Amino acid sequence: MRAIVILIVAAILGFFGYQYAANGKAPAEAFGTLTGAATDMAGDAADMAGDAVEGVADVAADAAEGATDMASDAVEGVADAAADVAEGATDMASDAVEGVADAA
């Protein structure tokens, strides 16, 4: 456990030391660099989440439209089938009446 704490402290000191030596930034500026990067990442994540929500909404709308079209086509198919059955029943009844009339 103590070794992990030592490694973390060494990493933090190394980061601030690098920022001071290589980039000429004081510890406060280096810390500002860290928080600025985190703020930018949070903003990018929020933008990506918003885009994902829009994409899901578009997919849901397309799916609903497709389901509506399919239901409409099914209703038309059922109506056509019912009309065909009614026409067939009418023809059969007419033929039966003609058959009875011929037999009489």
Q: How confident is the model at residue 104 (pLDDT cuts 50, 70, 90)?
A: low
Share of the chain above pLDDT 90, in %: 3
Residue 4 has pLDDT above 80, yes or no: yes
Question: Cα–Cα distance between 48 and 54 in angstroms, integer?
Answer: 10
Alpha helices (H) in the chain, listed in sequence order: 2-22, 27-103
Q: What is the pLDDT of residue 33?
A: 67
Q: What is the pLDDT of residue 32?
A: 67
The structure's pTM equals: 0.41
Q: What is the pLDDT of residue 34?
A: 65
- Residue type for position 1: M
Mean pLDDT of 51-64: 79
CA distances from residue 8 to 1, 4, 20, 33, 69 in whole angstroms, order as listed: 11, 6, 18, 19, 60
Question: Cα–Cα distance between 67 and 46 in angstroms, integer?
Answer: 31
Question: Cα–Cα distance between 72 and 76 in angstroms, integer?
Answer: 6
Residue 26 has pLDDT above 80, yes or no: no
